Amino acid sequence: MNRKDLELGKVGRDLVLLDGDIVNVPIAKRFFISGFVKNPGSFVLDTGTTVGQAIILAGGLTDRGSDRRLSVIRMVDGSPSKFR
């Protein structure tokens, strides 16, 4: 195994650590959901996550929630942009 394989994640999870080794775990990208969902908050963003999947991750809509008037705020070049 070489450093490049390690950086690309091409090693097993049972790699033996040696004295002085440093393990870096990258912070996962996250998204936030609020409004009339059962569990608003922060969730791990997987590639390809849809708005519908985000709602499911947040426990679904509450009785007062509706999927007809959603808006998404996305950071574009460091500034928030609203999508409907």
Question: What are the C-alpha distances in Å from 59 to residues 18, 42, 63, 71?
Answer: 42, 12, 12, 18
Confidence of residue 84 (pLDDT cuts 50, 70, 90): confident
**pTM of the predicted protein model:** 0.66
Quick: pLDDT tens for 8-56.
666 666 778 899 999 888 888 999 999 999 999 999 999 999 999 999 9
The pLDDT score that the predictor gives to residue 1 is 57
Q: Are strands 30-33 and 72-76 parallel, antiparallel or unpaired?
A: unpaired
Q: Which residue ranges make up each domain of the chain?
A: 3-83
